[in-house]
Every structure is written in C-alpha cells, then in structure tokens.
C-alpha cells in the first residue's frame, strides 16, 4: 500500500507541474537549426550560439536527431542542420565546416533508408522535397532525389484548398516551412499570432525569414531562446494534460483518484469544447482534432460530465471511422481506438454498433497492411497496443486477436523484464508492455503471466527515477519528440496497475 500511495502522489505531483510554463519536451535540433537562421534587421545572426549548440550535439555518425535511429527523423533533421550551417558558415568557426561535411556524408549513406519505416513524420511529404531543393541551391552535394515524395506532396496539396495554405486554422501552417521560396509575401503576413506560427518554432523561424519582423513571432522565439529550450512544439499544455490523464485511465484506478470531480480543470475542459466544438493540442493552436477531442470526451465522461454525441460525430467519415485532421492522407488507429473508448461512454451514440464494427475492421486492416499494429503518432507498436487492449479486452469478437497480440508482446519481453522494439529497451515501452499484460491478466490470469508482470515491474522500479531520467524520442511530430511528463505518468500508471493486480 505504501508503494501504491507513493506512485499516486508522484502522479498527482507531475500533473500539477503541467501548469508551470516549462517546455514538456527536450530541445529539438530540427527546430533549433531553423531558429539559428534568423537574422536581425542588420543582417546579423540573432542567436549565433544556437549554431554552436548544433555542432556540439551532432551524433558520432554525422547525423542530428533523436536518440534512437529512425530514418525520417535523422534525415530531415540532418538536412535542416546542414542547410543552417551552410547558410551561417561565414559567421561560424571552422568546426561548422567539419560538422557540415560529416552531415553530408551521413545523408549520402542514409537517404535510401526512407522507405524502411511504417510511418512518415508529420508534414514530411511537404517539407522534405523543399529541403532537398534548398540544399541543391546552396551547393550541398547530397542525394536530392525525393523518393517519390514530390508526388506525395502534390497529392497532399491537392486535398487542401489554396486559401487554406496560409490559414492559421489549417494544419499546413504547422509545417509552413514547406513553402520554401515559393511563398506569397502578402498571404503569409496573417499566419502568425502570439504563439508564433501554429505553435511551431521552425515554422515561426521560417515566417520571420520572410517578413523580417513580427511582434508575436519575435516574442515567441525570444522566450524560447531565453528559456534555453527550443522544442518541437510549444505551448501544448492541453495535449500534455489530457494525455497524462488518459495514461492514468489505464492504471486500474478511477481518474478522479488523481484529479477530483470538483477540480477547475474539468470545467475548463468542458468550456473549451463548448467554445470551439472540440479541442486541439493547445487552445492557442486554434485547430481542433479527432484524437485530442476523443480523449477529452472520454475523460469528461469518466469524471461525471455528460457530453453530446455531436462533439465526436463531426470527426466521423462516411466510412464510419474517425479522422484526426482535415486533409489527412491516412487514418490514425489511435484516433479511432480513442473514439471507440469515448463513444462507449456516451448514451445513445448514433449507429454505435456499425461504428464499432467499422473501426474494428480498420484495426484489422492495419495488421494485414503492415504486419503489425502501428500508429502514425508513435514509432513503437507497443504504444497503440497498450491503448487497444484496455479498450477492446471485453469484446468477444476481438478475443482471438487479443490472445494473439498478448502472446506476441509477451514473447518480446527481454530476459531482464523490459521491452524495446527498436535499438534498445526503454522505460516507456516497458510501461506499455506492463499495461498490455496487466489488463489481459485481469481477464485471464495465470502464474506465468504473473511472473512476467513481476519481472517487468522490477525492471521499472529499479530503473525509474522521475527527477533525472531522459527518455528516447518515440513520439511522431515533424520530428521525433518526447513529452516527458506524459511518459513519467505512463510509467507511474503501469506501476500502479501492477501494485493493484499483483
């Protein structure tokens, strides 16, 4: 009981920290490279120390990017860093030249690996061809063929009305840098606000490179540079809050154990839904989406607040599955699983059985298509499976598949109790593994499964230290990133679940 209470207290403490104005992510080399290119009205680099940070943080293989090798992340981040160093080279020491050459060598050897992953990064099909073009113009001799992404870019842009390309209410604003040198100087002027351009440091830096100066954009980047963390996205308080709370729904305890029903957060969340029709990853972002909204609806229902079905039906397609954003090329399995969880808590959701069947079909098609269950927002299969199992464990139709999934996850547990589907074991993936096995154990307990859970719990307990732990980047945005407080709470949720059931 002492351990359980300690984990609950740590989760509550971490939730309370979300309101603090501290970035929930680590520094992003991709975004830092873009910000390092910004110059003042006299043509001088505004923040020359950022280029030095890039040189210092280059990987031994010449690349930049996340801790775990993921081709799209390493290639696009390295390309961005090389372009920044090349454009800034006259203002930088000789070490910049050496770093640039190492980066170019990496690109020559790794661009061909772009076809070797399940999911691309956000906006990759738009940004990558532009960066290849810019590199060529700068005389950077790297493979500049776009691996079919030029055609994918045309396909994506054909879905977006032209008037929305520069709209702060369109997701293309988050990847605004894709416009390159084809920008319309008149239309771009209205895309920035107090949170820069679509809460993206890289898009904001690109914007300033074309407009010269803008009060909101200037202040936004100045704030991030002063805080010495330029993350992939900021601010994202709402995303952090609801996803941390969602992780706690898998702990086996009521969500109100962590945040009581009379907490102001619940009324604030409901007000956001009533005001905007849904929620996005931050109220300042200005774009609602099916994933964050599904999570918010689920949480409010669990906390005792009834929500109208209309909040979710707006994201439902003709095929009776759910979209995350307008103009997306592929649906997200995660968004659809989260929508299922939400509608199961809503009274009289229209055509609920048909919707349920359509989403289950989508889930099964994902396995057939890719040979694994994956989601477009995370590179580890364990992430989406850890959300699927709690959502579908009582579905009789899904039971044979459920048994197969659990056996696959169980067989991939390492001898030390950990999990890791990529280069190494990670605490985050081990937490997902424990959530998967823990929820299955509740419906089909066995002594062998209990031993696996105990082994995984021992690994987490011996390795987890909330104060100083750095987690590998596994979440998919324009680059890989880590919302570290969400990961903290996911680990605590897994430990709480184990304490509760073992």
- Write out 52-87 in H/E/C secondary structure: HHHHHCCCCCCCCCCCCCCHHHHHHHHHHHHHHHHH
Q: Is pTM beyond 0.75 here?
A: yes
Quick one: tokens of 42? 């006299």
Distances (CA, A) of 10 to 7, 15, 216: 5, 9, 36
Mean pLDDT score, 416-438: 95
Nearest to 246 by CA among 237, 255, 234: 255
Cα-Cα end-to-end distance for the chain: 12
Instruction: Tell me the torsion sign for CA atoms 307, 311, 316, 318.
Output: positive
Instruction: Select the more confidently predicted residue: 80 or 120.
Output: 80
d(CA 491, CA 24): 16
Instruction: Select the more confidently predicted residue: 295 or 120.
Output: 295
Averaged pLDDT score across all residues of the chain: 92
Contact 201, 234 (CB under 8 A): yes
Angle subtended at Cα 250 by Cα 467 and Cα 122, rounded to the nearest 5 degrees: 75
Most confident of the ranges 115-129, 157-171, 189-203, 433-447: 433-447
- DSSP string covering 402-424, please? HHHHHHHHHHT--TTS-B-SSSS
pLDDT 10s digits, 316-353 = 999 999 999 988 888 999 999 999 999 999 988 999 99
Kindly state the helix (H) or strand (E) to which residue 457 belongs, with its residue range. Answer: helix 447-463
pLDDT value at 464 more than 70: yes
197: alpha, beta or left, given left = phi > 0 and alpha = psi -120 to 50? beta
Mean pLDDT score, 231-255: 96
The pLDDT, as a whole number, for residue 29 is: 98
Long-range CB pairs of 185-191, under 8 A, 24+ apart, other chains included: 185/210, 185/211, 190/166, 191/166, 191/167
The pLDDT, as a whole number, for residue 435 is: 98
The pLDDT, as a whole number, for residue 364 is: 87
The pLDDT, as a whole number, for residue 274 is: 96
Residue ranges and CATH numbers for the domains of the chain are 2-21+234-501 (1.50.10.20), 29-227 (1.50.10.160)
Nearest to 340 by CA among 281, 384, 279, 305: 384
Q: Can the peptide bond before residue 235 be classed as cis, meaning omega within 30 degrees of 0?
A: yes
The pLDDT, as a whole number, for residue 170 is: 85
Mean pLDDT score, 169-197: 88
pLDDT 10s digits, 161-178 = 777 888 888 888 999 999
Lowest mean pLDDT among 312-316, 367-371, 380-384, 456-460: 367-371
Nearest to 125 by CA among 182, 71, 68, 175: 175
Q: Residue 229 burial (CB < 10 Å; 0-12/13-18/19+)?
A: middle
What percent of the chain shows pLDDT beyond 70? 96
d(CA 46, CA 3): 49
Q: How confident is the model at residue 147 (pLDDT cuts 50, 70, 90)?
A: low
pLDDT value at 146 more than 60: no
């Amino acid at each position: 009981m002492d351990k359980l209470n300690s984990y609950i207290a740590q989760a509550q403490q971490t939730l309370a920290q979300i309101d603090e104005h501290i970035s929930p992510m680590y520094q992003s080399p991709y975004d830092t490279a873009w910000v390092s290119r910004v110059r003042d009205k006299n043509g001088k680099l505004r923040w020359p120390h950022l280029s030095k940070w890039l040189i210092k943080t280059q990987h031994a293989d010449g690349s930049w990017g996340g801790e775990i090798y993921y081709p799209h992340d390493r290639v696009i981040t390295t390309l961005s860093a090389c372009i920044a160093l090349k454009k800034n080279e006259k203002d930088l020491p000789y070490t910049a030249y050496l770093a640039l050459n190492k980066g170019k060598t990496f690109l020559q050897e790794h661009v061909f690996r772009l076809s070797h992953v399940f999911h691309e990064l956000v906006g990759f099909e738009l940004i990558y061809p532009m960066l290849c073009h810019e590199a060529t113009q700068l005389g950077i001799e790297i493979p500049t063929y776009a691996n079919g992404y030029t055609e994918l870019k045309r396909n994506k842009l054909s879905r977006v009305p032209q008037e929305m390309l520069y709209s702060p209410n369109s997701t293309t604003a988050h990847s605004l840098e894709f416009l390159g040198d084809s920008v319309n100087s008149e239309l771009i002027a209205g895309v920035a606000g107090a949170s820069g351009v679509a809460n993206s440091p890289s898009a904001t830096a690109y914007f300033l490179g074309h407009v010269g100066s803008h009060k909101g954009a200037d202040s936004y980047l100045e704030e991030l540079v002063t805080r010495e963390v330029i993350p992939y996205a900021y601010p994202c308080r709402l995303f952090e809050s609801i996803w941390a709370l969602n992780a706690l729904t898998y702990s086996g305890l009521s969500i109100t154990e962590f945040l009581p029903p009379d907490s102001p957060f619940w009324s604030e969340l409901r007000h956001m839904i009533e005001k905007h029709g849904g929620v996005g990853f931050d109220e300042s972002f200005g774009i609602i989406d099916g994933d964050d909204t599904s999570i918010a609806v689920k949480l409010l229902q669990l906390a005792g607040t009834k929500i109208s079905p209309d909040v979710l039906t707006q994201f439902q397609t003709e095929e009776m599955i759910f979209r995350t954003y307008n103009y997306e090329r592929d649906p997200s399995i995660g968004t659809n699983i989260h929508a299922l969880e939400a509608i199961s808590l809503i009274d009289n959701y229209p055509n609920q059985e048909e919707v349920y069947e359509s989403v289950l079909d989508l889930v099964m098609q994902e396995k057939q298509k890719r040979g694994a269950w994956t989601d477009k927002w995370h590179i580890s299969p364990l992430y989406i499976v850890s959300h699927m199992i709690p959502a579908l464990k009582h579905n009789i139709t899904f039971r044979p598949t459920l048994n197969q999934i659990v056996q696959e996850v169980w067989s991939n547990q390492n001898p030390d109790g950990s999990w890791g589907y990529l280069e190494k074991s990670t605490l985050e993936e081990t937490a997902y593994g424990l959530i998967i096995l823990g929820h299955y154990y509740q419906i089909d307990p066995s002594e062998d499964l209990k031993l696996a859970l105990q082994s995984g719990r021992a690994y987490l307990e011996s390795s987890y230290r909330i104060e100083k732990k750095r987690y590998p980047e596994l979440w998919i945005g324009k680059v890989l990133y880590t919302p570290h407080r969400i990961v903290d709470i996911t680990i605590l949720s897994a430990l709480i679940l184990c304490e509760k059931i073992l």
